[in-house]
Amino acid sequence: MKTPPRFMVRDAQPADRRQLVAFVAALQDVERTLHAGRVEGRRIAAAHLVHLEQAARERRGRVLVAARGDERLGFLVGWVEEEARGLHHVRPAERRYGVVTDLYVAPGARARGIAVALLEEAARHFAALGLTRLRVRTLAANQAALRFYRALGYAPYELTLERELPHARHRRA
């Protein structure tokens, strides 16, 4: 079997914008199958990408792209977060951490190490900032993502549980 050409992980560039919007829409649509509260991807993708880019800029983060030539294979968004100063139960050195908020690999490019390479580059970035922790976020119902992250050594840190309130059902848009 012929080995596919390698890919590179780099910071997103203006030329990536169209594909990044498509990736954000696709990720949103995957999450929409897992949670009824998600909006259709094409409706929010462009505006949400602007939000992600701004948050990454403001919080010492990055928007990364995996690419092979002109083909975009996936993306990752992450930034620095800090726990509230009043949280005395968390050691001060661990109150700041890197967080990956979005990670997506195109279906035809999966199982080729692309997600791992994106995460490794994010980890290098946050380690260079002096951080000691990297957290990832995914929906609790995303079993494939949970298996993937656990296989890479990520372990649950906190779990947020949710329940829809009966009186709120009629207010859904």
Residue pLDDT, tens place only, 40-65 = 999 999 999 999 999 999 999 999 99
**Kind and range of the H or E run holding 67:** strand 62-68
Q: Is the pLDDT of residue 89 over 90?
A: no
Only one residue has tokens 């995996």, namely 66
Mean pLDDT for 89-118 is 90
Mean pLDDT over the full length of the chain: 90
pLDDT score of 123 more than 90: yes
Q: What's this model's pTM, rounded to 2 decimal places?
A: 0.88
Identify the band that residue 146 occupies on the pLDDT scale cut at 50, 70 and 90: very high
pLDDT at 12: 98
| Dihedral class, residue 113 (left if φ above 0, else alpha if ψ from -120 to 50, else beta) | left
Please give the share of the chain, as a percent, with pLDDT higher than 90: 75
Over residues 106-121, the mean pLDDT reads 95
Which pLDDT tens digit goes with each residue over 64-82? 999 999 999 999 999 999 8
Residue 171 pLDDT level (bands cut at 50, 70, 90): low
CB-based burial, 129-140: b 16+ in 10 Å, e otherwise:
eebeebbbebee
According to the model, what pLDDT value does residue 80 have?
96
